Amino acid sequence: MLINLHTVKWAAEECTRQKSGEMSVAWMIEGWLYAHRRRNQTIILRDVLALGSIVEPRTNRRGLRQVSVRVGSDIMLDWALVPAALDQLLNETRILQPDEWFRRYEEIHPFRDGNGRTGNILWNWLRGSLETADTPPDFWSAPSAPLRVRA
């Protein structure tokens, strides 16, 4: 069986952390299934866009965000810089460790919503841990976490 209780619990815990609602658990599982099917492939822009629209189909149906967003009090990367920053990150996928890749992805924050859920799936994909999905490190709750204000 492809989907197991561990995977459902992992998705439910992430959606609870993100306060994204019950339906988002099913969407996150759909995203996980997408990644699972492509797990032996290199992550490309098409994959990131597909995951964004799967985990948040209404908000991200148009692709990358074209608005400014905040996470708490942090102002995220200006939306006009997102495509180039994401392209650079994808070009560096093979040389970055999954934790660093994930941190940079979250700081790019390519979508209006669902970035934590897509980032979680992508992190597990990069680690080869989709079978036993885990939660990525939280780089931003630590007392020494850097500010993420971007121009």
Q: What is the chain's length?
A: 151
Q: How far is CA 102 from CA 5, 8, 21, 26, in A?
A: 25, 21, 23, 22
pLDDT at 91 over 50: yes
In DSSP terms, which residues pair with 75 in a beta bridge?
Answer: 70
**Cα separation, 74 vs 143, whole angstroms:** 15
Q: Is residue 149 part of a domain?
A: no
| CATH assignment of the domain containing 107 | 1.10.3290.10
pLDDT of residue 149: 46
Q: Is residue 116 part of a domain?
A: yes
Q: Is residue 107 part of a domain?
A: yes
pLDDT at 9 over 50: yes
Question: pLDDT tens, 54-76?
Answer: 999 999 999 999 999 998 888 89
Q: What's the whole-number mean pLDDT along residues 22-47?
A: 97
Is the separation of the CB atoms in 67 and 112 below 8 Å? yes
Domain span including residue 88? 5-127
pLDDT of residue 151: 44
Q: How many domains does the chain have?
A: 1
Q: Is residue 135 part of a domain?
A: no
Q: Is residue 101 part of a domain?
A: yes
Greater model confidence, 144 or 103? 103
